[in-house]
Amino acid sequence: MQTATRSEVSRSGILTTLGAVAGLALGPSVIAVLTISAYIQPIEQEFGWSRVQVSLAFTLVAYMIVLVSPLQGWFVDRFGPRRTVLTSIPLFGLGLAALYFTPANLFVFYLLWALVPVLGLGLWPLGYLQSVSRWFDRRLGFALGCANAGIGLGSTLVPLLTAALIPTYGWRGALLGLSVLVICVSWPLVYWLLREPTASQQAAQHASTARTLGLSFEQLSRHGSFIVLNLAFFMLGLTATSLVSQQVPLLTEAGWTPEDARAIVTTVFGFALLVARVTVGFVMDHVFAPRVMQIVAIGGAVACVLYALHPELAIISAILLGFLLGAEFDVLAFLIKRYYGNVAYGKAYGVIFALFYLGSGLGITGLAWLRQHFGNYEIGLWVAAAVLVASALLLSLLPAYRYQAGAVA
C-alpha cells in the first residue's frame, strides 16, 4: 500500500511540475514583464509618446506587483495555490484583452497596464512554486528549476508569436491573441495538471511533519538572513528586469537591425533563460545556493559591460543576462524553504518578491531616463553592472541552511 501511494505521489509531483510549466509560460511574468520590449517602439510610433512615457507603464506594472505580492502570499497560504491560480488565470486573460481598446490617452494607458498584475494576482511564480515545493524535498532545487523553466519556455515562444502577430495585427492584436491563449490553453492545462497533496500523500513522502516545519513570519522577519535577501533581491530587481525591458531598443540603437535585435531576444536570451532554469535548479541541490546566485550576478555585470563597450557581442551578453533572469526566482524559492521552512512560505516569498519588483520599477524608469538624459544607454549599463556586483557581495553574508533536505519537525 505504501509503495503504491509513493508511486502516486511521484506521479502527482511530476504532473504538478508540468502544470506549473504551462501556467508560467503564459503567465504575467512572461507576458507583462519579460517580453514587453517588443511593444515599446510600436506604441511610441502609434501615439507619439516618448520612450520614458511608454516605459513608465511597465514601471507601474512593477509597482503593482509590489502591492499584490504580499497579498498573493496571504491568499496562497490561506486558500492554497491551486484555487488561487485557477481563479486568476481568466481574470488575467481579460486584463490583456482590455489592452486592445487602449485609447490615445496616457492616463488610461497607464491604468490598463496597472490592472494587469492585479488581475493576475495568483499567477506570479509563488503560486506555482509553492505547489511544486509541497511534492519535493531532496530534489527540491531541480523540481523548482523544471517548474520555472516555464518562464524560459514562454520567454522563447511568446516573442516568436508576437513577432509574427505585430506586423500583421499590430501590438493590440498581439495582446488580444495572447489573452485567448491564456484563457483557452493555460487554464485547462493547469486545471488538469496542478495538484495539492492529500493527507495520505503527505504521509507517504514524510510530509505530514514537513507541512508544519518552519518559522512563523514574525520569527523569520527578525533574522539577519531575511534582511540580506530583501536587500539583495531589491538590487537584482533594480537591474535585471530593467535591462530586459530595454534590450530591443538598446540593440537597435547600437546598430543591430530591429529584426536581428528581436531575434537575439527571442532565441538567444529566451533559450538561455530556459536552460538556466533547469541547470541552476539542479546545481542548487549540490552547491550552496547563494554561491550559485553570486556567480550569475557577476555574469550579469559582465553582460552590462559588454553591452556598453562591445554591443557586437550581444549574443554573449544575452546568454549571461538569460542566466541572471533564469536563476533569480529558482534561488529565492529554494532559499526560503531551506532557511524558513513551509509555515510562512507564501508571506516570506511575497515580501521579497515585492521588494524585487520595487527595484524593478525604479530600474525600468531609471534606465530609460539615463538614456534620455545622456543620449545613450552606456551610463545606465555601468550603473547596473556596479549594482549587480554589490548584490553578489551582499549574498556572501548568508549563513548555512537552517532546514537541510530531509529535515523533520
Q: In this structure, are residues 119 and 31 in contact, taking their beta carbons and an 8 Å threshold?
A: no
pLDDT of residue 1: 40
Give the whole-angstrom CA distance, residue 409 versus residue 86.
31
Handedness of CA 202, 205, 206, 210 (dihedral sign): negative
pLDDT in tens, 66-103: 888 888 888 888 888 899 999 999 999 999 999 999 99
Give the DSSP letter of residue 400. Answer: -
pLDDT of residue 208: 41
Q: Report which residue type is found at 248.
A: V
Asked whether the beta carbons of 44 and 106 are under 8 A apart, the reply is no
**pLDDT given for residue 24 in this prediction:** 94
pLDDT at 3: 46
Quick one: which H or E segment has residue 336?
helix 314-340
Q: How far apart are CA 148 and CA 86, in angstroms?
A: 18
CA 293 to chain centre: 15
Residue 191, C-alpha cell as written in the block: 486545471
Cβ–Cβ under 8 Å, residues 359 and 57: no
Q: Taking CA 280 as the corner, what is the angle to CA 274 and CA 283, rounded to the nearest 5 degrees?
A: 145
Identity of residue 61: V
pLDDT for the residue 228: 96
Domains of the chain (ranges, CATH numbers): 2-395 (1.20.1250.20)
Q: Which uninterrupted H or E stretch holds 109?
A: helix 106-119
List Cα–Cα distances, 25 to 20, 69, 220, 277, 393, in angstroms: 8, 19, 31, 12, 32
Contact 404, 327 (CB under 8 A): no
pTM, to two decimals: 0.74
Q: What pLDDT, on a 0 to 100 scale, did the predictor assign at position 291?
A: 95
Residues 6+ apart with CB under 8 A from 111: none
The CA distance from 326 to 277, in Å, is: 5
Q: List the beta bridge partners of residue 341.
A: 214
Please, what are the averages of pLDDT over each run of 10 residues along the chain (409 residues)?
A: 57 90 93 82 91 86 85 85 94 96 94 94 88 80 85 84 89 95 96 79 49 79 93 93 80 82 78 85 90 95 92 89 86 90 83 87 85 87 95 95 67
Q: What is the pLDDT of residue 199?
A: 56
Contact criterion met (CB below 8 Å) for 366 and 374: no
